[in-house]
């Protein structure tokens, strides 16, 4: 149980700056997900919270106490690693009790804590086994158990599910979330998978190239992304971006490079003639034979519940998720409406969302 404040933190490796002044407030009991593409600095930031990487500049504090120069073991945090990092020569019980043993707890205390954590995670029958006799999912659960046993102020997860197969990942996702709801402990979770971020987080921190792009609740980020990076990163399939010029009027239009005019939703604050990028999510694109954008269908991908359609207009590729079953073939020409009220306009140069 703790509040973590990351205040203008920077990280240099020699002259190379990998984190450029990041500030994030993590409230007591909150589940915060750091998400971003590989190399965006999210794992480095997590390791700095854990104390495994030195902080070049700025401060990290836990419950108001600055921990920059505090050794990892005194920070009272627990970390779950991507590769589980279980001690191969110890049984599950020894693995889970190791931190308490180092702390000098008595045997009975350790056993009680381990049994309690094992009960929470359903590890009871595995306690006397060694890690190499466990499956991937079981190892991951032991790694989580090792963290729970300590009852730490903060849980840190470093891409814990990325070594599991797809089905198990979904199952463990629910387990982690469920665990957090039961323990309601402050949690920082790093992932590159935006679906994990969307489904698990109370608060998402989107990082890119060592800076924080946007912080907010999952749906807030999804519905009102601050810029094109956040808009494109969250959501699958990714948001479509269409370049054009804004034409104001009674019926606002987007003028495409080839001169075609497509109706879009009114944007009061955007001046007539501004060059913009229209961002529209695949599920907001609908087929509209009246006056939509004329495109040529190139790929149809039925997934069962819905159908993904990839269509091309000039160089632009537009992905569209259709809920109804439609009879379309590659090569067909159809019209797509981009007038959804959920569509956004972005500035071409700053990439920020307009309005």
Most distant pair of Cα atoms in the chain: their distance:
78
Return the residue of 136, 232, 237, 266 that touches another protein, per CB under 8 A.
136
91 interacts with another protein by CB under 8 A: no
| Cβ density class 142-166: b for 16+ within 10 Å, e for less | bbbbbbbbbebbbbbbbbbbebbee
Return the residue of 13, 27, 54, 89 that touches another protein, per CB under 8 A.
89
Return the residue of 43, 44, 99, 185 that touches another protein, per CB under 8 A.
99
Angle at 334 between CA 343 and CA 227, to 5 degrees: 20
Q: What are the tokens at 218?
A: 């999952």
308 interacts with another protein by CB under 8 A: no
Interface of this chain with another protein, residues 25 to 84, rule: CB under 8 A? 47, 50-52, 72-73, 77-79, 81-84
Angle at 189 between CA 185 and CA 192, to 5 degrees: 165
Interface of this chain with another protein, residues 169 to 228, rule: CB under 8 A? none
98 interacts with another protein by CB under 8 A: yes
**Is the peptide bond prior to 237 cis by the omega test (within 30 degrees of 0)?**
yes
Segment interacting with another protein, rule: CB under 8 A, options 86-94, 170-178, 208-216, 311-319: 86-94
C-beta of 134 vs 320, nearer to another protein: 134
131 interacts with another protein by CB under 8 A: yes
C-beta of 86 vs 231, nearer to another protein: 86
167 interacts with another protein by CB under 8 A: no
85 interacts with another protein by CB under 8 A: yes
C-beta of 74 vs 315, nearer to another protein: 74
Give min distance, CB of 8 to another protein, in A. Answer: 24
Strands 77-80 and 211-216: unpaired
Q: Could you tell me how many helices (H) and strands (E) the chain has, helices first?
A: 8, 20
Return the residue of 14, 88, 259, 304 that touches another protein, per CB under 8 A.
88
C-beta of 105 vs 351, nearer to another protein: 105
Collapsed DSSP state (helix, strand, coil) of residue 110: helix
Instruction: Tell the burial category of 318 from Cβ atoms under 10 Å away from its Cβ (0-12, 13-18, 19+).
Output: buried
Angle at 209 between CA 205 and CA 214, to 5 degrees: 25
Please tell me the distance from the alpha carbon of residue 170 to that of residue 125, in angstroms, as a whole number: 23
Give min distance, CB of 92 to another protein, in A. Answer: 11
Q: Cβ atoms within 10 A of the Cβ of 339, count?
A: 22
Give min distance, CB of 130 to another protein, in A. Answer: 7
155 interacts with another protein by CB under 8 A: no
Interface with another protein (CB under 8 A): 47, 50-52, 72-73, 77-79, 81-89, 98-99, 102-103, 130-134, 136, 139, 146, 150, 163
């Amino acid at each position: 149980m703790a509040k973590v404040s990351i205040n203008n933190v920077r990280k240099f490796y020699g002259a190379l700056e990998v984190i450029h002044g990041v500030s994030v407030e993590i409230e007591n009991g909150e589940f915060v997900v750091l998400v971003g593409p590989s190399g965006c600095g999210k794992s480095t930031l997590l390791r700095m919270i854990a104390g495994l990487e030195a902080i070049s500049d700025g401060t990290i504090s836990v419950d108001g106490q600055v921990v920059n120069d505090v050794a990892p073991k005194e920070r009272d945090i627990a970390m779950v690693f991507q590769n589980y990092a279980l001690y191969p020569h110890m049984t599950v019980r020894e693995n889970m009790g190791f931190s308490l043993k180092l702390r000098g707890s008595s045997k009975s205390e350790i056993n009680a804590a381990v049994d309690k954590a094992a009960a929470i995670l359903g590890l009871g029958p595995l306690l006397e086994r060694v890690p190499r006799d466990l499956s991937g999912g079981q190892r991951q659960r032991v790694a989580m158990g090792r963290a729970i046993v300590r009852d730490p102020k903060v849980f840190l997860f470093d891409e814990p599910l990325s070594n599991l197969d797809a089905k198990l990942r979904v199952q463990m996702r629910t387990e982690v979330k469920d665990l957090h709801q039961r323990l309601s402990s402050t949690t920082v979770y790093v992932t590159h998978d935006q679906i994990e971020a969307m489904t698990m987080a109370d608060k998402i921190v989107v990082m890119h190239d060592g800076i924080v792009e946007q912080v907010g609740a999952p749906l807030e980020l999804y519905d009102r992304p601050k810029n094109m990076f956040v808009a494109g990163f969250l959501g699958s399939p990714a948001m479509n971006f269409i370049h054009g010029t804004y034409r104001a009027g009674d019926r606002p239009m987007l003028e495409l490079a080839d001169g075609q005019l497509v109706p879009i939703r009114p944007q009061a604050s955007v001046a007539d003639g501004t060059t913009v990028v229209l961002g529209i999510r695949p599920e907001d694109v609908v087929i509209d034979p009246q006056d939509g954008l004329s495109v040529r269908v190139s790929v149809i991908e039925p997934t069962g519940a819905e159908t993904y359609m990839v269509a091309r207009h000039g160089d632009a590729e537009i992905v569209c998720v259709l809920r109804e079953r439609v009879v379309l073939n590659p090569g067909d020409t159809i019209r797509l409406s981009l007038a959804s009220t959920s569509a956004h306009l972005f500035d071409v140069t700053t990439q920020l969302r307009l309005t």
